Amino acid sequence: MHLISGTPPRPRHRLTQPRRDPVVIAHRGASGYRPEHTLAAYRLAIRLGTDYIEPDLVVTADGVLVARHENEISQTTDVARRPELAARRTTKVVDDREVTGWFTEDLTLAELRSLRAVERLPADRPGNTRYDGFFQVPTFAEVLDLAEREGRRRGAVVGVYPETKHPAHFTALGLAPEPRLLAELRRRHLDRPGTPVVVQSFDPTSLRLLAEESHVPLVQLVGAADPRLLSPAGLADIASYADGIGPEKSLVLPGGQPSDLVGRAHAHDLLVHVWTLRAEERFRTPGLGLEGPSTPEAEVQAYLDAGVDGVFTDHPDVAVRVRGAGLLSPAGA
Looking at the domain assignment, is residue 209 inside a domain? yes
Taking the C-alpha atoms of residue 7 and residue 175, their distance in angstroms, rounded to an integer, is 21
Q: How far apart are CA 295 and CA 301, in angstroms?
A: 10
Using the predicted structure, report yes or no on whether residue 17 has a pLDDT greater than 60: no
CA distance 160 to 144: 7
Looking at the structure, do residues 179 and 313 belong to the same domain, yes or no? yes
Q: What is the pLDDT of residue 302?
A: 93
Summary mean pLDDT of the chain: 91
Total count of domains within the chain? 2
Q: H-type helices in 70-139, by residue range?
A: 109-113
**DSSP labels for 30-50?**
TTTTS-SSSHHHHHHHHHTT-
Residue 13 maps to a domain: no
Is 189 inside a domain boundary?
yes
Long-range contacts, 117-126 (Cβ 8 Å, 24+): 117/35, 117/36, 117/37, 117/38, 117/76, 117/77, 118/35, 118/75, 118/76, 118/77, 118/78, 119/35, 120/35, 120/36, 120/69, 120/75, 120/76, 124/280, 124/282, 124/283, 125/32, 125/280
Residues 104 and 235 in one domain: no
249 and 223 share one domain: yes
pTM of the predicted structure, to 2 decimals: 0.92
Residue 202 and residue 113 share a domain: no
Other CB atoms within 10 A of residue 25 CB: 29
Q: Are residues 92 and 210 in the same domain?
A: no
pLDDT in tens, 289-327: 766 667 999 999 999 999 999 999 999 999 999 998 434
Whether 288 has a pLDDT exceeding 90, the answer reads no
Predicted pLDDT of residue 20: 53
pLDDT band at 5 (very low <50, low <70, confident <90, very high): very low
The confidence band for 227, taking pLDDT boundaries of 50, 70 and 90, is confident
- Other C-beta atoms lying within 10 Å of the C-beta of residue 308: 24
So what's the pLDDT on residue 293?
A: 67
Last residue of a domain, one of 84, 107, 131: 131
27 prior amide bond cis, ω within 30 = no
Q: Which CATH number fits the domain that encloses residue 54?
A: 3.20.20.190
> In one letter, which amino acid is 107?
L
- The strand pair at 56-59 and 65-67 is best described as antiparallel
CB 65 within 8 A of CB 139: yes
In a domain, 16, yes or no: no
Last residue within a domain, chosen from 131, 165, 181? 131
Does residue 201 lie within any of the structural domains? Answer: yes
Residues 192 and 95 in one domain: no
Is 196 within the bounds of a domain?
Answer: yes
Q: For residues 262-287, give the mean pLDDT.
A: 95
Looking at the structure, tell me whether residues 275 and 318 fall in a common domain: yes
- Which of these three, 114, 131, 148, is where a domain ends? 131
User: Does residue 58 come out as left (phi exceeding 0), alpha (psi in the -120 to 50 range) or beta?
Assistant: beta
Statement to judge: residues 58 and 118 lie in one domain: no
> For the chain, what percent of residues have pLDDT higher than 90?
85
Domain span at 143: 23-64+136-323
CB atoms within 10 A of CB 188: 13
pLDDT in tens, 43-94: 999 999 999 999 999 999 999 999 999 999 999 999 999 999 999 999 999 9
- Whether 80 and 149 share a structural domain: no
Over residues 276-301, the mean pLDDT reads 87
Question: Does the residue 110 lie in any domain?
Answer: yes
Are 171 and 249 found together in one domain? yes
Question: Do 265 and 279 belong to one domain?
Answer: yes
Do 180 and 96 lie in one domain? The reply is no
Average pLDDT over residues 130-140: 98
> Rounded to an integer, what distance in angstroms lies between the CA atom of residue 58 and that of residue 175?
9
Is 192 within a domain? Answer: yes
